[in-house]
Amino acid sequence: MKRLFLATTVVSLGVTAVFALWVTPPRADQGFDAVRLLYLHAPTAWIAYLAFGVTALASLLWLFPRTRSATWDLLAGASAEVGVVFTGLTLVLGSLWGRPTWGTWWEWDARLTTTAILFFLYLGYLALRRTGTTADERGKRSAIAALIAFADVPVSYLSVTWWQTLHQQGTVFNERLSVKIDGSMAFTLVAAVVSFTLLYGYLVLERFELAQLEEGREARELERAIAERVRAEHVEVAPV
């Protein structure tokens, strides 16, 4: 089942790559071949938002007593890990595209700035998860941190947009891409989004299963330790 999932992901990524690299036309107004980066950039950005949305939802389910289960905590962590990687990719790819197109690696554009803030917010979230307390403690703290981070994003976006509009040095985001979009380009973008979503699902599944195995190992060690202790000390006093 998982193998089929992986195969589908790889095939769809391959199709996307073929279209992105050879079928779609280069664009003179966007640095010729640099435009092909957008087939990576747009889907990675979408995955980042999707991943953090899943993390927030899973955290909410963990906090709600009736649906509380270790599964949600592990899913939240797995999704955030993939999300941070894709946020980082989004920033790097955007930067690579921006250099030939805008002539600069970085613009203090609203979307760029908010994405960078997002990256650091969830980096902090992942660091919090790795501080090694009990599973319940980690679940509680990280779930609350995830919700605060998720709520902080719209406020950050708002402030950064205001910052741009009031502060006249901002560069207007180049939106010419959407004006005239080639048929093959549109198809490639859709294919890229679909295949990257599959990739996201596969990566989260892998990370989730690994986390489960780690937790399972800890639980087994725990049970063994208790059994040993009871055996070692039980001879001393007979229970009544």
Partner 1 sequence: MLGRFPALAGADLEVESGEVVLLSGPNGAGKTTLLRLCAGLLALRAGEAEVLGVNLAVEPRRVRRAVALVGHETFCYDDLTVAENVRFVARSTGHRAADADDALERVGLQRVANIAHGRLSQGQRRRLSLANALVRNPRLLLLDEPHAGLDEHGRAVLEEIVRSAPAEDRTVMLASHELELARRLATREVRIVAGQVHAVPPPAPAGAAVVAGFEPRA
Partner 2 sequence: MSFLRDALLVAGKDLRIERRSRVALQQIIPFGGVVVMLFAFALDSDRTLLHQAAPGLFWAAVLLAVLLAVGRSFAIEEANRARDGLRLSGLDGGSIFLGKAAAVAVELFLLEVIVGAAVVVLYDVSVRGAVVLLCAAVAATVGLAATGTVYGVLAGGLRARETLLPLLVLPAVTPVMLGATRSFQAALDGTPGDAWPWVQLLTAFAVLAVAAGTVAFGPLLEEA
Closest distance to partner 2 from the beta carbon of 159 (Å): 4
Residues 134-193 that bind partner 1 (CB under 8 A): 134, 136
Burial class (CB in 10 A: 0-12, 13-18, 19+), 205: middle
Closest distance to partner 1 from the beta carbon of 143 (Å): 16
- Helix or strand holding residue 20 (H, E): none
Count CB-CB contacts under 10 A for residue 49: 16
Total site size for partner 1, rule CB under 8 A: 16
Closest distance to partner 2 from the beta carbon of 155 (Å): 5
Q: What single DSSP character describes residue 21?
A: I
Task: Specify the residue, 175 or 236, whose C-beta has the smaller distance to partner 1.
Answer: 236
Count CB-CB contacts under 10 A for residue 72: 21
Task: Specify the residue, 83 or 139, whose C-beta has the smaller distance to partner 1.
Answer: 139
Count CB-CB contacts under 10 A for residue 108: 14
Distance CA 191, CA 172 (A): 28
Closest distance to partner 1 from the beta carbon of 240 (Å): 6
Region near partner 1 per CB under 8 A, out of 13-21, 47-55, 146-154, 219-227:
219-227
Region near partner 1 per CB under 8 A, out of 8-16, 50-58, 186-194, 220-228:
220-228
